[in-house]
């Protein structure tokens, strides 16, 4: 997908465990699993189990503040679990120009190699 249709995404099936994923962290609100096409030795996606309109960060409303905080906190927990807490990157791609391909908000946690700045 390259556009925000608001329809279901592949992540719904991952949440429902209809398709397998490599889960590294899970709680009531958040699921974190390994990216199928890793861009670093550690590449984990952290997503809200309930999308609740959050196809992308651009759709964030005040009511999403709590889950947004939970996602970021979970990203830190994932970095610790993966042993990269001393050096990692958190990315949210938004929209076509931001290279977003799945329209269910997700935080990329990348680590295990030297990052470059600015990103491409
Ligand atoms: P985006 O480009 O939207 O920021 O990130 C979407 C990410 O989801 C990509 O890095 C892509 O590799 C990952 N992805 C897409 N489909 C699947 C899948 O079925 N399983 C897993 N684990 N990752 C996926």
Q: Where are the domains of the chain?
A: 10-111
Q: Which residues on adjacent β-strands are paired with residue 44? A: 34, 109
Each residue's pLDDT tens digit, 14-39: 999 999 999 999 999 999 999 999 99
Q: Which residue is catalytic, options 43, 64, 104, 106?
A: 106
**Is any ligand 1 atom within 6 A of the Cβ of residue 36?**
yes
Domain range 10-111, CATH class: alpha beta
Question: E strands of 27-83, at which residues?
Answer: 30-34, 42-48
**Ligand 1 geometric centre to CA of 36 (Å):** 6
Active site residue 43: no
Each residue's pLDDT tens digit, 67-112: 999 999 999 999 999 999 999 999 999 999 999 999 999 999 999 9
Residue 84, token pair as written in the block: 């990269």
Residue nearest to atom 21 of ligand 1 (CA): 36
Ligand 1 atom nearest to 33, measured from its CA: 22
């Amino acid at each position: 997908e390259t556009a925000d249709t608001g329809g279901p995404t592949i992540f719904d099936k991952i949440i429902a465990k209809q398709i397998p994923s490599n889960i590294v962290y899970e709680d009531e609100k958040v699921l974190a699993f390994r990216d199928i096409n890793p861009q670093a030795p550690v590449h984990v996606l952290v997503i809200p189990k309930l999308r609740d309109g959050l196809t992308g960060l651009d759709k964030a409303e005040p009511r999403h503040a709590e889950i947004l905080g939970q996602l970021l906190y979970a990203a830190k927990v994932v970095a610790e679990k993966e042993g990269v807490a001393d050096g990692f990157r958190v990315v949210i791609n938004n929209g076509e120009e931001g290279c977003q391909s799945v329209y269910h908000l997700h935080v990329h946690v990348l680590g295990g190699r030297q990052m470059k700045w600015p990103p491409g």
